[in-house]
Amino acid sequence: MTRPQRISVDLSDGEIAGLHWPGEGKPPLLFCHATGFCASAYTQMLSHLSARFEIFALDMRGHGRSALPADPTQLRSWRIYARDIGAFLDCERRERWLLAGHSMGGVTAALAAEGRGDVAALALIEPVAMPSLLAMVAATPAWPLISARWPLVRQAARRRSRWAERGAVSRSYAKKALFRNWAPGVLEDYLEDALAEMEDGGVRLSCEPAWEAATFAAHDNDFWGAIKHLPCPIAVYAADSATSTVRPFALRRLRRAGARVTVAAGVSHLAPLEKPAELAAYMAETLTAQ
């Protein structure tokens, strides 16, 4: 497996970190991760693509090794992630970018691409395609009270974030249902940057539970407006699973918008971590066809 290089780029309010698979002359691909994860979780999938693309994978604000302000009391929208992506694209200038993302990362990639002339295609894996009405409600003063009751938000807020050593985290996570179907080695890749060292010798989650919970609750996002005005072809990969964030109404709406939609059986919302080689093949075929 081709191992990436670590990168760090100065933005206006701090440093955004990530991984880079160099490839002079190859099409540049930027990949964005899901809520609570980090670029390293996708190392296997992206390594499969490194022969065909120059790849950048970012740690979003408040995740992984990025050092950017992350105040959960101020987070109401994923637009801040989209602005960070846009700022990175402006720093790492390329003539034509390919953008891709998983879950929250798919939505933020779409938001970041809107209005840009340097994005040639998007591949969105299980984007969080919420109804427009929910985005409208999420913009109201009542939303923090509503979202605080969501099981996903409450679970994230209560997540344990400190351990005595890395091995304890790996042993604990390996027993959890969330990680049961991940491909061998993906959990270890994820924990490489999902855990940060502490001065007392212990480790903590690099994405603090309060920030993860705030991200799960931050749905003041005009995803459908971005899809409508994107300047490039869109491909969407959805799981035929109860865990999917691309429900039937969203599949219909994406197809009406001209997106190339693939619905796959045998995977969940976390498909890139369960079947990294298959998702890499999907992305290679999809992005090369654009």
* Res. 289: pLDDT tops 80: no
Do residues 174 and 168 lie in contact, with contact meaning Cβ atoms separated by under 8 Å? no
Residue 235: in which H helix or E strand, if any?
strand 234-239
288 confidence band (pLDDT: 50, 70, 90): confident
Query: Residue 179 has what DSSP assignment?
Result: G
d(CA 194, CA 37): 7
Q: Which residues contact 155 (CB under 8 A, 6 or more apart)?
A: none
CA dihedral (257, 262, 263, 266) in degrees, to 10, reads -160
> Which top CATH class is 5-141+219-289?
alpha beta
Residue whose C-alpha is closest to residue 276's, from 235, 237, 243, 233: 237
Q: Which residues contact 34 (CB under 8 A, 6 or more apart)?
A: 102, 103, 104, 105, 270
> Span 81-93, mean pLDDT?
96
d(CA 178, CA 2): 26
pLDDT 10s digits, 20-68: 999 989 999 999 999 999 999 999 999 999 999 999 999 999 999 999 9
pLDDT 10s digits, 198-211: 988 899 999 999 99
> Span 208-228, mean pLDDT?
96
2 confidence band (pLDDT: 50, 70, 90): confident
Q: What is the pLDDT of residue 198?
A: 93
Cα–Cα distances in angstroms (integers) from residue 154 to residues 81, 149, 161, 213, 216, in the given order:
22, 7, 14, 7, 10
CA dihedral (263, 268, 272, 275) in degrees, to 10, reads -90
pLDDT 10s digits, 131-182: 999 999 999 999 999 999 999 999 999 999 999 999 999 999 999 999 999 9
Do residues 101 and 108 lie in contact, with contact meaning Cβ atoms separated by under 8 Å? yes
3-state secondary structure of 126: coil
d(CA 23, CA 53): 6
Do residues 17 and 44 lie in contact, with contact meaning Cβ atoms separated by under 8 Å? no
290 confidence band (pLDDT: 50, 70, 90): low
Q: Where are the domains of the chain?
A: 5-141+219-289
Structure token digits, residue 85: 């992506």
Structure token digits, residue 220: 């003041």
Mean pLDDT score of the chain: 95
